[in-house]
Homo-oligomer: A and B are copies of this chain.
Amino acid sequence: MKRNLYLKTKPVEEALAEYMEALETAGVLQPQIEWLDTYEALGRQTAGPVFAKCCSPLFNAAAMDGIAVRAAATKGASESRPLTLKLGEDYKIVDTGDPVKAPFDAVIMAEDIIEMDDETVQILASVPGWNHVRSIGEDIVAGEMILQTGHRIRPVDLGVLLASGNLQVPVYKKPQVAIIPTGTEIIQPKDEPQEGDIIDSNSGMFAGQVTEAGGVPNRLPIVEDDYEKIKKVILEVLETNDMVLINAGSSAGTEDYTVHILREIGQVLVHGVAMKPGKPVILAIVSGKPVIGLPGYPVSAYLAFENFVTPVLRRLSGDMVSASAEPKNLVKAVISRRMVSSLKHREYVRVKVGKVGEKLVAAPLARGAGAAMSLVRADGFCIIPQNCEGYEAGETVEVELYKDLKEIENTVVSIGSHDMIMDVISDMMAAEYRNMYLSSTHVGSMGGLMALQRGETTIAPTHLLNEADGRYNEAILKQLFGPGRIALIKGVDRIQGIMVKKGNPLGIRGVEDLTRVRYVNRQRGAGTRVLLDYKLKQAGIRPEDIDGYDKEAATHMAVAALVASEEIDAGMGIKPAADAMGLDFIEVGVEAYDFAIDRQNLQLPQVQAFLEILRSPEFHEKLAELGGYGWHQAGNIIMIE
């Protein structure tokens, strides 16, 4: 097995600085210039100063509707001695913008004249020369500088460019960026996947990132893992592109050719960066152009792009302001869970950020490099520096937000148990209560209540069985929080059960049969797991008797997907998840999925919006569509006394 073991990875800043310096030395960071039709130049940056080619106004013009007169000839007019003027001889009718020419040199407003007949007016006051006349060049003078270098062209600039005779404008050219997906196992999103195939979703993401960084993305067909073929494509696209991205093959696997190819045809400056995710990055220069190898995992790919491709693209596209080390949108937030990190790298942890009371709370999301949804769901990054081993829950950390703080303040933060209705409510909040949002993190019922205890969530969805009386939520809330503090917002009744393959080929009838199948469990603290444990205890079965009791999935849907696969036979969850994956479902019990909340937060506008949705017929219709839910108490509030 030939592997590219990169012995030592470089710190992020060092790697970037080294690369930028090499590019600078090679003279490849100079943006190019093109002349654009002014109408097409919105949002582009001027590549040099722009001067007016003509004046505006082009001539002395009436600034008002009225009559043009000779100022000198109006002398002496007054209320007691009106002056009579004759059309043609003494005045000319003008609308705003009409030229005012010799012998006329002033304008009297329509409101200030008395019409005697069609050819005669009277005026009651004299006017000075140039009265209500916009003189030539009053707005723009030919030859003056109207836009300076590096100015981003706005709508008002378009108006002034056109008014000043600039029909074309020099702007920095957008760099052309080739995106080459490689890998024998990679297929296009439109292709039908065969076993082992991986959909190329990165090219689309990169295309979006290139566009946002000011470039033009050129997506190329997938190239199989073949040294010569990959090399040929790179050399070809270098002829017509300003930059080349190769995905993936930047790692150290048996078929990771990229670094060898780049060493053969160019200069590899960096291979491997001390960041996580995102380590397997290759920074190279080939034929005097930047060529970057990006890792395959979507989160790694995204972060490697933002850290290394974006800075290069900003420079190539002439955007010096964004290219300079701009302070990001940094906020302080309390971290809701312990995060351990290695001293070997800087780690980017995706977090959901919420405002609970007066404090911002950051809840870490899935940390895997493959967890693309964690990027979609995240509100920002918590960056753990290379020299830091992590943070304890409750510590204040710095978060780089990429959502508006306003939006975060209008969000119901939900930490706790998972149910598909949270997505439904979240969508209804966004669609019907614009500017109101619901943000869910799934850590199980107990995890949610702990977060509520620490003041880190607005609501905690929970379905915890009280073993003593077989009832849900209320008793446990009273026990945990005492009386007077908490309210329970009633949610839905839902059916819990065992999901099995279509037709139930193994003939499972209940928890007693789980000892003879391959099971997948939920995480510790999840209400579903509590229910399983309760049922197992009743049936006298020990956890270690179940194959897969230790294999955990984080949501009902994740369990359903695994049960649908070859490797797993059964898992517990809710009926809509089984339905969604076409599985059979053996009912185990009905439980209450409710929301615990601090009473003082009930009046928050976003919580009111949440309550309105719970009570709305539209929501109940959606529950009926999903199936497996009861909603007769939805939106009721029970004070825990």
Residues of B within 8 A of A251 (CB): 65, 96
Residues of B within 8 A of A135 (CB): 553, 558, 561-562, 565, 567
Give, as a whole number of angstroms, the nearest-CB distance from A54 to chain B. 8
Give, as a whole number of angstroms, the nearest-CB distance from A59 to chain B. 6
Selected contact of A55 from candidates B209, B372, B561, CB within 8 Å: B561
Say whether B551 contacts A130, CB under 8 Å.
Answer: yes
- The proximity string for A residues 94-133 relative to B, scoring 1 for CB distances below 8 Å and 0 otherwise, is 0111110110010000100001000000000000111000
A contact residues vs B (CB 8 Å cutoff): 1, 3, 38-39, 42, 48-49, 54-60, 63, 65, 93, 95-99, 101-102, 105, 110, 115, 128-130, 134-151, 154-163, 165, 167, 185, 189-190, 193, 195-202, 204-209, 211-212, 219, 251-255, 296-298, 302, 320-321, 324, 327, 366, 368, 370-373, 375-376, 406-407, 420, 423-424, 426-427, 430-431, 434-435, 548, 550-551, 553, 555, 557-558, 560-562, 564-567, 577, 580-581
Say whether A204 contacts B38, CB under 8 Å.
Answer: yes
Of A160, A302, A373, the most chain B CB neighbours within 10 A belong to A373
Give, as a whole number of angstroms, the nearest-CB distance from A565 to chain B. 5
Say whether B65 contacts A252, CB under 8 Å.
Answer: yes
Say whether B567 contacts A160, CB under 8 Å.
Answer: no
Say whether A162 contacts B201, CB under 8 Å.
Answer: yes
* Across the A-B interface, the 8 shortest Cβ-Cβ residue pairs: A137-B561, A155-B208, A159-B205, A143-B580, A320-B434, A163-B201, A141-B557, A145-B423
A203 (CB) vs chain B CBs: closest residue: B162
**Cα distance A491–B430 when bound, in Å?**
58
Say whether A372 contacts B56, CB under 8 Å.
Answer: yes
Q: 15 A-B pairs, CB-CB below 8 angstroms?
A: A3-B65, A63-B368, A101-B567, A130-B551, A135-B561, A135-B567, A139-B370, A140-B373, A149-B430, A149-B431, A159-B208, A160-B375, A162-B204, A162-B205, A324-B435
Say whether A565 contacts B60, CB under 8 Å.
Answer: yes
Say whether B253 contacts A148, CB under 8 Å.
Answer: no
**Cα distance A190–B53 when bound, in Å?**
12
Say whether A147 contacts B196, CB under 8 Å.
Answer: no
Give, as a whole number of angstroms, the nearest-CB distance from A553 to chain B. 7
Indicate whether A298 sits within 8 Å of B163 (C-beta atoms), given known contacts A102-B566, A156-B375. Answer: yes
Residues of B within 8 A of A423 (CB): 49, 144-145, 148
Give, as a whole number of angstroms, the nearest-CB distance from A443 to chain B. 17
Residues of B within 8 A of A426 (CB): 145, 148
Residues of B within 8 A of A95 (CB): 253-255
**Cα distance A316–B627 when bound, in Å?**
35
Residues of B within 8 A of A324 (CB): 434-435
A153 (CB) vs chain B CBs: closest residue: B208
Other than A55-B561, A156-B205, give 4 A-B pairs with Cβ distance below 8 A: A98-B196, A143-B580, A144-B420, A156-B376
Say whether B370 contacts A65, CB under 8 Å.
Answer: no
Residues of B within 8 A of A567 (CB): 60, 101-102, 105, 135
**Cα distance A205–B158 when bound, in Å?**
5
Say whether B65 contacts A150, CB under 8 Å.
Answer: no
Selected contact of A156 from candidates B39, B57, B190, B302, CB within 8 Å: B302
Give, as a whole number of angstroms, the nearest-CB distance from A569 to chain B. 12
**Cα distance A371–B160 when bound, in Å?**
10
**Cα distance A565–B211 when bound, in Å?**
47
Give, as a whole number of angstroms, the nearest-CB distance from A315 to chain B. 11
